[in-house]
Amino acid sequence: MELKKIMFYPGCTLKGVAKNLEDSTVESARVLGYDFIELPGWTCCGAVYGLAQDSVKFTIANVRNLIRAQEYAEKIRDNRLVAVCSMCYNNLRRAHLDVMKNRDKLQTLDLFMDEEPDYKGEINVQHYLTFLKEEGFDKIAENVKKPLKGLKVAPYYGCLLLRPDEVAIDDREDPHILEELLEILGAEVVDYPLKNECCGSYHTVDKKEFVAERTFKLVSVAKEVGADIITTSCPLCFFNLDKRQEIAKKKHSGFEHMPIVYFTQLMAIAFGINDDKVLHFEQHYVSPREVLSRWL
Amino acid sequence: MMKYTIKEDPHNDERVREIMEISGENIFACYQCGRCSSGCPMAEFMDVLPNQVFMFLQEGDVDTLLSARTPWVCAACFTCTVRCPVGLDLAAVMEALRELQLRKNYDYVDPYRVENREELPPIALVSNFRKFTP
């Protein structure tokens, strides 16, 4: 089968501490018939979108990325740019919508980047989940070799897939896209009331105790509702929920570790991929190996 | 007890106007329903609650906000932004409060003094430095 070429924006974190996210995304896409090609010449997205209305400095890098995508889209005749990291998705999509709505900003940026072609506004930035849904979840069902039957999963969206409204991939207060996918993979989805609550984000750098408290709450509630594992798509949520369990455990006696995995890792496992070079469980603080042993 | 001064007309306060310009938000539209504070995941760590940020601004008391921990505790998760019944973007107001200080070349976080930098993912560092350094 010839693979369909799709532009893929990995982002910085996937190139280092989140190889587990990158490789499981690319490999799961390959099973479904897509060749995820890393966008040539991509740069960092900036992680957080600039909220100051009188400045465009945080939009420059994103528009430059969109221009790179515009060039490559012509070659592969597909204007979709897929990101899987929630922060990258949020930034790129917000930048696109922002400059399309505020043409004066785009004009300022086009003038500033006079060495670049102008951005025409035709790039469709999509999150991997949206891409999969648009292409049809039934395609996924056809490829499930090892249904995750009996695995109780708490779906965790975090903030940036759902907020602000203009970039939300689903209903921001009651999203279901991740649940739908997990059910197709055969997993048992638990009703997780904190699925759209913040993990504490960038405070993990200078106020990790705050983040550890968030992690304590998010993991404890997942346990209370019966989950074996939490799944996410954001490498910062992943780091906070996984690594910050170390502090949470020191502070709260009785706290039990829970493994965190990317939804793409679950997809890969359900597709029968059992390769350490794809799953990279060595990048997890709390190893998911035991919980997932039945399917590995 | 927190001490604050009520100004004569906060509409004319230069710093209130600057905050409105940077954030693009009309802070006088807030009617103190408290929805921002009730949904805020970081409120338990704040010294001024999200709804109180608008209250102090409406009273022209920018000093209290500039010395508060709150703008540096906000995680820009946009829960308040999407739930505000009058459509105010409090996350942008928090950003403006930080910007007011950062634009004076203030470092809230010193990148050279971050503990365990090597274990942190790049997005954690990039987002933190973008919010907390000029």
A145-295: which CATH topology?
A: Rossmann fold (3.40.50)
Average pLDDT value for residue range A16-23: 96
Residue B3's region, left for phi above 0, alpha for psi from -120 to 50, else beta, is: beta
Is A203 within 8 Å of chain B by CB? Answer: yes
- In this prediction, residue A108 carries a pLDDT of 95
Q: Whole-model pTM?
A: 0.96
Are A46 and B81 a contacting pair at CB < 8 A?
no
CB A106 within 8 A of CB A99: yes
The span from the CA of B23 to the CA of B96, in Å, is 6
CA distance A88 to A137: 23
pLDDT higher than threshold 70 for residue B78: yes
Residues of A in contact with B130 (CB under 8 A): 46-48, 50, 58
Two tokens, residue A72 = 């490559």
Superfamily of chain region B10-103: Alpha-helical ferredoxin (1.10.1060.10)
A252 phi, psi to nearest 5 deg: -120, 110
Judge whether A262 and A157 are in contact, CB under 8 Å: no
How far apart CA A293 and CA B55 sit, in angstroms, is: 54
Q: CB contact, 8 Å: B102 with chain A?
A: no
Task: Give the integer Cα–Cα distance in Å for A135 and B49.
Answer: 44
| Fold type of domain A4-129 | Glutathione S-transferase Yfyf (Class Pi); Chain A, domain 2 (1.20.1050)
Mean pLDDT for the stretch of residues B59-85: 97
DSSP 3-state assignment of B2?
coil
pLDDT confidence of residue B10: 87
Both tokens of residue B122? Answer: 């790049």
Whether residue B9 has pLDDT greater than 90: no
* Contact map slice: B 39-78 vs A, CB within 8 A: 41-42, 44-45, 73, 75-78
**Six-digit token pair at A82?**
């897929």
> B21: which chain A residues are within 8 Å (Cβ-Cβ)?
53-54
Please answer whether residues A103 and A57 qualify as being in contact, where contact means their C-beta atoms are separated by less than 8 angstroms. Answer: no
> pLDDT tens for residues A77-136?
999 999 999 999 999 999 999 999 999 999 999 999 999 999 999 999 999 999 999 999
Instruction: Please indicate if any CB of chain B lies within 8 Å of the CB of A104.
Output: no
Q: Where are the domains of chain A?
A: 4-129, 145-295
pLDDT at B1: 63
Interface predicted TM-score (ipTM):
0.95
The pLDDT assigned to A197 comes to 97
Strand order across the A188-189 sheet: A188-189, A152-155, A229-232, A260-262
Residue A141: Cβ-neighbour burial (10 angstroms; 0-12, 13-18, 19+): middle
Do B123 and A203 lie within an 8 Å CB cutoff?
no
Residue B9 to residue B25: CA distance in whole angstroms: 18
Which of A18, A203, A235 lies nearest to residue B75, judging by beta carbons? A203
Determine how many CB atoms are found less than 10 A away from the CB of residue A78.
15
- Write down the domain spans for chain B: 10-103
Asked whether the predicted pLDDT for residue B56 surpasses 90, the reply is yes
Tell me the CB-side half-sphere exposure of residue B33, using CA atoms within 13 A.
12
Question: Helix, strand, or coil here: B117?
Answer: helix
* Partner residue opposite B128 with nearest CB, options A12, A85, A206: A206
Is B26 near chain A, with CB under 8 Å? no
Structure confidence at residue B2 (pLDDT): 65
Q: Are A12 and B123 in contact (CB under 8 A)?
A: yes
Interface membership of B106 toward A (CB under 8 Å): no
Which whole number is the average pLDDT over B106-111? 96
Give the separation between CA A284 and CA A281, rounded to whole angstroms.
5
List own/partner pairs for A279-285 with CB under 8 A and 24 or more apart. A279/A20, A279/A23, A279/A24, A280/A19, A280/A20, A280/A23, A280/A24, A281/A20, A283/A17, A283/A18, A283/A19, A283/A20, A284/A20, A284/A242, A284/A259, A284/A260, A285/A242, A285/A243, A285/A245, A285/A246
Which of A48, A54, A164 is closest, CB to CB, to B131?
A48
The residues, ordered by sequence, that sit 6+ positions from A147 with a Cβ below 8 Å of its Cβ are A185, A186, A270
A44 neighbourhood in chain B, CB within 8 Å: 122, 126
CA atoms within 13 A on the CB side of B106: 13
pLDDT digits (tens, 9 = 90+) for A215-261: 999 999 999 999 999 999 999 999 999 999 999 999 999 999 999 99
Q: Are the CB atoms for A9 and A82 separated by under 8 Å?
A: yes
Give residue for tokens 């100051």. A52
Q: Six-digit token pair at A124?
A: 């469709």
Nearest CA in chain A to B41: A198
Considering only alpha carbons, which residue of chain A is nearest residue B109?
A206
Q: Which two tokens stand for residue B85?
A: 């019944």
Q: Which residues contact A265 (CB under 8 A, 6 or more apart)?
A: A20, A21, A24, A279, A288
Tracing tokens 């060495």 back to the chain, one arrives at A115
Of A47, A164, A197, the CB nearest to B127: A47
DSSP for B87-100? ---HHHHHHHHHHH
**For the segment A128-145, what is each residue's pLDDT rounded down to a tens digit?**
999 999 999 999 999 999
